[in-house]
Structure 1
Amino acid sequence: MYGSDRARQMQIRSGADGKIAVGDDGMLPADPVHPGADLTGINDNWWVGLSLLHNLFAREHNVICDGLKARYPTWKDEELFQHARLINAALIAKIHTVEWTPGILGHPALDFSMHANWSGIPCRVLRAVLGKNSEAAFGIIGSPTDQHSAPYAMTEEFTAVYRLHPLIPENLDVRRLDSTEITASDLVKMQGPASRKFMQTHGFANLLYSFGTAHPGAIRLHNFPNFLRRFTKDGQPLLDVAAIDIMRDRERGVPRYNRFRELVGKKRVNTFEEITSIPGAARKMRAIYKGNVDRVDLMVGLLAEDLPEGFGFSDTAFRIFILMASRRLKSDRFFTDDYRAEVYTNFGLDWIHNNGMKSVLLRHMPQLGPALEGVNNAFAPWNVLRG
């Protein structure tokens, strides 16, 4: 949302009170360079889903600016912007850790562990015994920074297990908050140059509601969205994203599925049937890989692998997820050594602690209240209203 360089950051700012520039309708303006995209930090591969999140958290940034200005009236535009950016980014990291991840990995133990990952196990005795530097007792946030022998980076292994295109459905039921009207729309018609027009046609609140009541695709074999297997973009040649996903792992040296399992501490498999119980999948893999189970591509194995109860993706992938989720926090000084009032302000720390995805949604779109009533995790399905 904020871009990766100072020049882009200055383009998206309003120049007053630390705020991001928005139009009279409260929405991000159009990017004059990329037709159909919003003017935001990074808008490559733009589509309505990204637009919803960028618009939502741009509004959150601006509300945080209002809160900071009320408490620090002498602060200038730069101080307000940079503090709001820091607070907003930490809130997004918290939401990803304790809400999105348990939402897609629906198991009580996982929910408990991700909250512990962020803020520790809420047990007074444990905290007293282990002390303030214990991550088990107090979580990673605010603990000492540790790069674990190498500066943090998005590793090839993490990129490989995060190829989650099957989450994307072929189409979306666009619903209205004020009626039972449903309009089915192909996802290919709400991306690229068509993104802003689609948003303007259906409205910010209605599209948030539509995505909130939609279900993601299963991260399994035979569920890759067909429109991404014959995808055209900006005049480029026809793209088969499924084939590209596999080829990227091969050309970048990511181990095949069996060796990958071994490297993350799992037992190697000797037969295709050990990988999966999906009907017919073992037979197809045997034919494609000429009977050699060691040749199964990582992505194919991950999509075929039988899942733990409640999990939305494989245990093999999860081992990389939990490692990188922890490292992402532990190696960043703004979540560790500098997660303190002198950097964030007391207001900022309170904002992060007291908010989550549901409160953000309701703050900026209170008309979503009935859809979110009784919903504890905003990444779980919302209530479908009857008009």
Structure 2
Amino acid sequence: MVRSRNYTQSSCLQMFAFSRQAAATQGISRAAEVFQMTLQLLKDEARRRQKRSVPVAELLSMEEVELIANLSGCPPAFQPASCPKGGDSEKYRTISGVCNNRNNPLWGAASTVLARWLPAEYEDGESQPKGWNTGHQYSGFQLPAVREVSNSIMQSSGQITLEDEAYSQLLVDWGQYIDHDISFTPQSTSKAAFLEGLDCLHMCENSDPCFPIQIPPHDKLFGSKSCLPFFRSSPACLSGPAHTLQAQMLQRQQINLITSFLDASTVYGHSVDLENALRNLSSSEGLLAVNSKYTDHGGHPYLPFVSLTPSACIQQPSTGPRERVECFLAGDSRVNEILPLAALHTLWVREHNRIATRLKQLNAHWSSETTYQETRKIIGALHQIITMRDYIPKILGKEAFDQTIGPYEGYDETINPSVSNVFATAAFRFGHATISAQMRRLNESFQEHPHFSSLSLHQTFFSPWRIIREGGLDPILRGLLGRPAARLNQQHLMTEELTEKLVVLNIPEALDLAALNLQRGRDHGLPGYNDWRVFCGYDRVESKADLRAVVRDRALVEKLMDLYGHPNNIDVWLAGLVEDLLPGARTGPLFACLIGKQMKMLREGDRFWWEKPGVFSSRQRQELQRHSLSRVFCDSSGVTEVPLDPFTLGTYPEDFLLCSSVPSLDLNAWKEEPEKDVSDLDSAERHV
């Protein structure tokens, strides 16, 4: 094709003009949607004129694509030009993660693209999700509807969720909490189809950003509906080094709104504005803000409420406007999704304030800012230690951990720590299959609480009032320590609480988490099962017999083959779940590979990783290693007895210790001698 420059440039100007002002004021996500829709409109017009599909690369030059991105409101692809050196830039990470890597400042930073370990697989090669076009085939078969997969695979009648014989419920909830520290892909900011203008909640056709979940005939729960609403993830603006921009131009990418680093952004946020909203800026101790209205029975504070009220959180029945309990405000906006998540968020805010207060006592000469940053550094290190030392080895198993991660060998500036699309959208969602149908609340003897009974899972969604009015954190935290996690079961992969009663605040009906996960993977164009097996160095699975070698349950293999036709087609999230677990692990080989690879990159590619020489002194590292999540429970809640390893399931009272017997962090390792004033030194010398 001979490209018409005049046609291209004039059309670009016309097509983005109508929305340029809105894009500039509604942030990167909205700008990216304008950018992507402009490209799509240009492609549609070119196809109409030429009677064939025209790839973006054939239609536009790189310079023209960058122009469209810029005029859509996207920030420049190349920024910042340089990173500061010396001073605090050597000691403290930026809140956005920018300049962690000095040579590649956007690696791991907030609001940059999720990394692609394999190219996206879209039906038009560029942006249409897998399953977008009726009749499109993969390996000779159409992909099954995701709700049909959920109905057929996720549950089998008469089967129940197994209890984990080794690990506590905390293993599951820490996984969710730490996932929210490293990845968050925002949904489209628009809730209506861009071209038709119809509300995505009330249409069953595919039209960006609407990608509704189709309901199969005779669906036992949603049979009266044709579809469930689903919003595509926001596309990404162009960002990063020049050599990656061509790939971003050719295929739709998704954003990680938060930093990829294990940096406790759940506590501190990922932007300067959010960080400031979370701080008590009038405090000389560098404290975080807490709730001004409520504390628990022991005087421990709760998280502050969001400032925009009334908020969307569910309210206690039969309470009026004056008794409202608003949504909690935290470093991550998903804090209110489920009560254990809110409890862990609250615990770490308390821990920050406890440590900051003590550091200020030890170092009266420190400014509020120094005290805050030093405390933030400690809290971030504890998140890293608890995750990599205590959590990840239990998930991968010792053998896979040693093979994929191994001992720390130092910072490597050539490693890109950005969270990958397949990790965020599939592999680290393995934990959804181990979520219990109940949230246990226990008393001081780790028995069912006499006043605050255990709750069905759906009763814990977006209900911060239950923390304020039903006993605070302590009964919930004891439930995490004292009850077993759910064990993945090939005959019953997910509780009905999640496949039939999931609550999402912007959608006024129950949803199916399994269907959402599968649809999200297709929305992101994740390649199928075999492509990821090859990526991890495993043989392809080409037949039913091959599949039986990695999935022990014969009936499950039959269902998978009936639905998908070929192992190539199995959605990677589902494929990773159904593989037989590795010895001593809570994942199969594929997810062990993908999770292990990501965790190693997060560790080796972080200039501020706690083990890196110079980040902490040797004595400080020694103290950090002594600390544990059990000790955090002791120091920042009313729980007085804990197991030494809180992720290991114990029997009360024989496997529990009084908090006085649990090693604690000696903050004297952070005590500094204040620098003496020069005038004082001169005066002292004159008197000698």
Fold in common (TM above 0.5)? yes
Amino acid at match of 1:207: I
The residue number in structure 1 matching 2:307 is 32
The residue number in structure 2 matching 1:162 is 428
Within 2, Cα distance between the matches of 1:199 and 1:281?
Answer: 44
Q: TM-score, normalised by structure 1?
A: 0.82
Q: What whole-Å deviation, never above 9, does each CA across 1:122-166 have from its counterpart, x for those lacking one?
A: xxxxxxxxxxxxxxxxx24xx233232xx3211112122111211
The residue number in structure 1 matching 2:494 is 224
Within 2, Cα distance between the matches of 1:60 and 1:108?
Answer: 30
Give the direction of change, closer, same or farther, for the CA distance of 1:303–1:220 in structure 2 (3 Å limit).
farther
The residue number in structure 2 matching 1:286 is 561
Q: Does 1:75 align with 2:341?
A: no
Give the direction of change, closer, same or farther, for the CA distance of 1:293–1:155 in structure 2 (3 Å limit).
same
Amino acid at match of 1:209: R
Within 1, Cα distance between the matches of 2:592 and 2:277?
Answer: 38
Amino acid at match of 2:531: R
The residue number in structure 2 matching 1:3 is 269
Give the direction of change, closer, same or farther, for the CA distance of 1:14–1:28 in structure 2 (3 Å limit).
same
Deviation at 1:172, TM superposition (A): 2.0
Instruction: Report the secondary structure of 1:207's partner residue.
Output: helix
Within 2, Cα distance between the matches of 1:199 and 1:378?
Answer: 24
Contact preservation (8 Å) 1:333, 1:339: no
Within 2, Cα distance between the matches of 1:337 and 1:172?
Answer: 36
- Equivalent positions of 1:219-368 (< 5 A) are 219-221=488-490, 222-230=492-500, 231-238=502-509, 239-270=511-542, 271=544, 272-290=547-565, 292-335=566-609, 339-340=613-614, 344=616, 348-365=620-637, 367-368=639-640
Q: Does 1:378 align with 2:646?
A: yes
Q: Does 1:180 align with 2:455?
A: no
Specify every segment of 5 or more residues in structure 1 that has no aligned partner in the other structure, as ranges.
121-138
Instruction: Report the secondary structure of 1:216's partner residue.
Output: strand
Within 2, Cα distance between the matches of 1:113 and 1:63?
Answer: 38
Instruction: Report the secondary structure of 1:280's partner residue.
Output: helix
Contact preservation (8 Å) 2:335, 2:345: no
Within 1, Cα distance between the matches of 2:619 and 2:469?
Answer: 35
The residue number in structure 1 matching 2:290 is 22
Within 2, Cα distance between the matches of 1:339 and 1:268?
Answer: 42
Amino acid at match of 2:589: D
Q: Does 1:48 align with 2:48?
A: no
Contact preservation (8 Å) 1:329, 1:336: no
Instruction: Report the secondary structure of 1:162's partner residue.
Output: helix
Within 2, Cα distance between the matches of 1:279 and 1:73?
Answer: 67
Deviation at 1:64, TM superposition (A): 2.0
Instruction: Report the secondary structure of 2:519's partner residue.
Output: helix
Within 1, Cα distance between the matches of 2:629 and 2:446?
Answer: 25
Give the direction of change, closer, same or farther, for the CA distance of 1:6–1:299 in structure 2 (3 Å limit).
same
Within 1, Cα distance between the matches of 2:617 and 2:512?
Answer: 48
Within 1, Cα distance between the matches of 2:590 and 2:603?
Answer: 21
Deviation at 1:37, TM superposition (A): 2.7
Give the direction of change, closer, same or farther, for the CA distance of 1:363–1:274 in structure 2 (3 Å limit).
same
Amino acid at match of 2:557: A
Amino acid at match of 1:301: A
Amino acid at match of 1:245: N
Deviation larger for 41-50 or 306-315: 41-50
Contact preservation (8 Å) 2:440, 2:476: no
Amino acid at match of 1:305: E
Give the direction of change, closer, same or farther, for the CA distance of 1:282–1:309 in structure 2 (3 Å limit).
same
Contact preservation (8 Å) 2:394, 2:585: no
- Equivalent positions of 1:39-118 (< 5 A) are 39-44=329-334, 46=336, 47-105=338-396, 107-109=397-399, 117=406
Q: What whole-Å deviation, never above 9, does each CA across 1:213-242 have from its counterpart, x for those lacking one?
A: 222223344321322223232241543221
Give the direction of change, closer, same or farther, for the CA distance of 1:11–1:345 in structure 2 (3 Å limit).
farther
Deviation at 1:279, TM superposition (A): 4.4
Amino acid at match of 2:290: V
Instruction: Report the secondary structure of 1:232's partner residue.
Output: strand
Which of the two has higher C-alpha Rg? 2
Amino acid at match of 2:434: L
Amino acid at match of 2:380: A
Give the direction of change, closer, same or farther, for the CA distance of 1:336–1:197 in structure 2 (3 Å limit).
closer
Deviation at 1:382, TM superposition (A): 3.8
C-alpha RMSD of matched pairs (Å): 2.6
Instruction: Report the secondary structure of 2:280's partner residue.
Output: coil
Contact preservation (8 Å) 1:37, 1:43: no
Give the direction of change, closer, same or farther, for the CA distance of 1:228–1:366 in structure 2 (3 Å limit).
closer
Within 2, Cα distance between the matches of 1:347 and 1:76?
Answer: 23
The residue number in structure 1 matching 2:152 is none
Deviation at 1:276, TM superposition (A): 0.9
Identify, as 1 or 2, the structure richer in helix. 1
Within 1, Cα distance between the matches of 2:562 and 2:403?
Answer: 40
Within 2, Cα distance between the matches of 1:366 and 1:174?
Answer: 14
Deviation at 1:84, TM superposition (A): 0.7
Within 1, Cα distance between the matches of 2:354 and 2:379?
Answer: 10
Instruction: Report the secondary structure of 2:441's partner residue.
Output: strand
Deviation at 1:380, TM superposition (A): 1.3
Within 2, Cα distance between the matches of 1:184 and 1:364?
Answer: 23
Within 2, Cα distance between the matches of 1:301 and 1:347?
Answer: 45
The residue number in structure 1 matching 2:475 is 206
Amino acid at match of 2:482: T
Amino acid at match of 2:496: N
Give the direction of change, closer, same or farther, for the CA distance of 1:314–1:242 in structure 2 (3 Å limit).
same
Contact preservation (8 Å) 1:144, 1:336: no
Deviation at 1:312, TM superposition (A): 0.7
Q: TM-score, normalised by structure 2?
A: 0.48
Within 2, Cα distance between the matches of 1:218 and 1:179?
Answer: 21
Within 2, Cα distance between the matches of 1:234 and 1:111?
Answer: 37
Amino acid at match of 1:158: F
Amino acid at match of 1:383: T
Instruction: Report the secondary structure of 1:217's partner residue.
Output: strand
Within 2, Cα distance between the matches of 1:385 and 1:57?
Answer: 26
Contact preservation (8 Å) 1:257, 1:298: yes
Deviation larger for 298-307 or 40-49: 40-49
Q: Percent identity?
A: 20
Contact preservation (8 Å) 2:440, 2:454: yes
